[in-house]
Chain A
Amino acid sequence: MTAISLSEAHGRNRAQKVAMVVMLAVLLAAPFFVYPYFLMQALCFALLACAFNLLVGYVGLLSFGHAMFMGTGAYICAHLAQARGVPVEFAIPAGMLVAALVGVVAGALSIRRQGIYFSMTTLALSQLIYFLALELPFTHGEDGIQPVPQTKIFGGLLDLGHPLQIYYFVLVIFFAGFLLIYRVINSPFGEVLKSIRENEPRAISLGYKVDQYKLMAFVLSATLAGLAGATKALVVQNASLSDVYWTTSGEIVLMTLVGGMGTIFGPVIGAFIVSAMQVYLSGLGQWVTVIQGVIFVTCVLAFRRGIVGEIAAKFGLNL
């Protein structure tokens, strides 16, 4: 047990709650000021980065293959919605479910190793998925699957062709995923995960079946990454190889690092920053990758805890 008084713990939690209300308010108002399709794409990446952060920030497992779950979710959702005519409200959960299954297999294999070996295993497995996405007939190779229809769902109640309606649909998905992660982190299960991160042998000595906890966290993270991918396939109306490529896995790491690893809000901020660079700096051509690199280096050198991490440390908050 850490030695903090109850009121202190309460104060820290209050900061999180205030931050969450602020974030929700900003996101609710955002589509009136910022281009909604950009926001939706950023929200999908934010959910993805949060899912990734659940593993790296709270269990200490650096997965370098999270694109495989996002890609699986995206491809399954896009295929079902586009080629099989499955309604989107079923295609998204289906994508999530298949990503979860991939997560069970990938997780069971990779958590047997630690550190760099764990990362390399996830990278190798994600390249396997990439190869499948390139070669399986239903993915259409490098052409990808498109267009994913943005139709009316829930019996015509919600029109995904309307920018605001689809935006709030995506926001609900993001926020549900975000709340789930928040709840997990602040649960007894989350405390065990943190103890594994801090000192795995000690957690074992206390009688925790560490591998089961790790696998559980891995599958949860994979599932949410699949949800993010399936939602993104709906937003951008396609699933393509870039969703499963290893550079996407790298971008997820970048988002989480820039925002703040092991903070709840950091990945969200990081995802918005990196997505904004890709979209709004796209006129600069090859300089985007250079700028991304500079930001990464600056982040590692100057503020290692990421943007949110540094703010939290400065004000003694737990964000």
Chain B
Amino acid sequence: MNYKIAGLAMAGLMSSVAFAPSALAADKTIVIGNVNDMSSLYADTGGIGSEVAAKMAIEDSGMEKKGWKISVISADHQNKPDVGATLTRQLIDEKHADVIIDTPNSGVALAVAAVVKEKNKVFIPSGAASAALTGAACTPNTVHWTYDTYELAHGTGGAITRAGGKSWFFLTADYAFGKALEADTTAVVKAEGGTVLGHDLHPLNTADFSSFLLQAQASKAQVIGLANAGGDTINSIKQAAEFGIIKGGQTIAPLLLFITDVNAMGLKVAQGLEFTSSFYWDMNDGTRAWAKRFQALDPAHHMPTQGQAGAYAGVLHYLKAVEKVGDPSDGAKVVAEMKALPTDDPLFGKGTVRIDGRVTHPAYLFKVKTPEESKYPWDYYKLVATIPADKAFRPLSESDCPLVKK
């Protein structure tokens, strides 16, 4: 009987140890969880590079000199929402993570956002595109950096249509992300006085785009919008180059394109593409200096993508807020401080974190240079138009985020 009681007491003791809340938080320890795709299609745009960016932010915050202990842990979510949710929970419970960053893949990001809210930590998605993160699925613990589907659609659709690309044809990935992008872009194109001549849905991970491209070519649309991502975007651009679509006078507008994609395709294929991005390394002295530092530290020696730049800026701003609050354990409190403080960093400039968690900064419409125009490695983009911060993102009046009071 005594044994039984002792056993129960021990079990109780162990459970209290196992589930004790982050007791270390008070003594100035911050753990950053980089829940990312480390092995698959987003590994180049986020991956280990986001860990590098986060470490640079820690260094630049100067907080370690003030006695803070800050570390970064990376974990591979394998693009599975269930794995991402469990990893996040485990990072928070066992490694006492205070903030989760990057998390490309919208499905995983939405799952992670739910766990982070439940645990009252902070979530800074800088690599996920879904505008729902600051819309219907917004939480008091999420701060969405870099880009979202609204920004991409409105930036590219609006700027190109205003510049004279009045007739559009869409190649759309047949799933929610692609359809949302197409619908958003269509609305902007029509609002700017353009027309949409047609669209074609292709399955996810298509290898052969020839029939879709031929239809797009035959439509005689001035602009072919690619409402897809990753490998599908690269495949469709490569095959469009083989069909001579750009040389034939049509513009190709991929709605989501990363600099690593351009690097992988090469300028010969990618030249002439027009697209929206929140960040380009070769914008000014600040971005150049930062990007060169990043390139030296990155294991693959790539230039930073916009997602990785967002990871840096997000962590930097987060650390500022934690320093002000004095304790990272209450995530909602830290996020409230992040929203109160104006953002200011060398990569995105000055901006704000809105009530719905959206970070506003300017967005840019770029055109990929021709091989002749490119003077040095990674000299890929030329600026076509700047979309000011207050125009780049979904206005609060259109938001369906419950945090926005109307």
Contact = CB atoms under 8 A, between A and B. Distances in A.
Given A242-B82, A286-B39, A146 B87 contact: no
Interface in A275-311: 278-279, 282-289
A140 interface: yes
Interface in A24-72: 31-33, 35, 37-38, 41
B367 to A, nearest CB: 30
A236 B18 contact: no
A289 to B, nearest CB: 7
Interface stretch (B103-111, B278-286, B389-397): B103-111
A232 B78 contact: no
Given A37-B89, A142-B106, A282-B76, A238 B111 contact: yes
Interface string B70-88: 0000111111111101110
Interface in A140-181: 140-144, 146-147, 150, 161, 163-164
B39 A285 contact: yes
Residue of A35, A238, A243 with most partner-chain B CB within 10 A:
A238
Residue of A32, A37, A140, A285 with most partner-chain B CB within 10 A:
A285
A142 B114 contact: no
Contacts of A142: 106-107, 175-177
Contacts of B78: 278, 282, 288
A241 interface: yes
A144 B39 contact: no
Contact of A240 (B19, B43, B80, B115): B80
B176 A238 contact: no
Contact of B177 (A141, A164, A238, A289): A141
Given A146-B81, A240-B81, A283 B76 contact: yes
B86 A37 contact: yes
B43 A285 contact: yes
B107 A283 contact: no
A237 interface: yes
A174 B406 CA distance: 47
Contacts of A286: 38-40, 43
A150 B115 CA distance: 11
A134 interface: yes
B374 interface: no
Contacts of B18: 31-32
Contacts of B87: 279, 282
Contacts of A288: 39, 76, 78
B175 A134 contact: yes
Nearest to B77: A282
B114 A237 contact: yes
Contacts of B80: 240, 242
Give the interface size bracket for B toward A.
Answer: 35 or more
Interface string A127-142: 0000000110000111
Interface string A87-118: 00000000000000000000000000000000
Nearest to A290: B39
Interface string B1-16: 0000000000100110
A289 B82 contact: no
A134 B93 CA distance: 32
B305 interface: no
B132 interface: yes
Contact of A282 (B40, B75, B130, B204): B75
A23 B339 CA distance: 50
Contact of B83 (A32, A135, A278): A278
A237 B111 contact: yes
Given A142-B175, A146-B114, A289 B39 contact: yes
Interface string A179-191: 0000000000000
Given A147-B114, A240-B107, A279 B81 contact: no
Given A242-B80, A282-B83, A37 B90 contact: yes
A32 B10 CA distance: 10
A164 B16 CA distance: 11
A144 B111 contact: yes
B373 interface: no
Nearest to A248: B80
A218 to B, nearest CB: 25
Contacts of B200: none
B85 A236 contact: yes
Nearest to A74: B82
A32 B106 contact: no
B76 A143 contact: no
A105 to B, nearest CB: 24
Contact of B82 (A135, A147, A240): A240
A146 B76 contact: no
A143 B106 contact: yes
Contacts of A38: 86, 90
Nearest to A29: B11
B19 A163 contact: yes
Given A142-B107, A237-B85, A242-B81, 5 more contacts: A35-B94, A141-B177, A143-B106, A237-B111, A242-B82
Interface of A: 31-33, 35, 37-38, 41, 134-135, 140-144, 146-147, 150, 161, 163-164, 232, 236-238, 240-243, 278-279, 282-289
Q: Lowest 7 A-B CB distances belong to which pairs?
A: A141-B176, A147-B114, A286-B39, A285-B38, A240-B81, A236-B82, A242-B80
30 contacts: A32-B18, A37-B93, A41-B82, A134-B175, A141-B175, A142-B106, A142-B175, A142-B176, A142-B177, A143-B130, A143-B176, A143-B177, A144-B107, A146-B85, A146-B110, A147-B114, A164-B19, A237-B115, A238-B85, A238-B114, A242-B79, A242-B81, A279-B87, A282-B75, A282-B87, A283-B75, A284-B76, A286-B40, A287-B39, A289-B39
Interface of B: 11, 14-15, 18-19, 38-40, 43, 48, 74-83, 85-87, 89-90, 93-94, 106-107, 110-111, 114-115, 118, 130, 132, 174-177, 179, 204
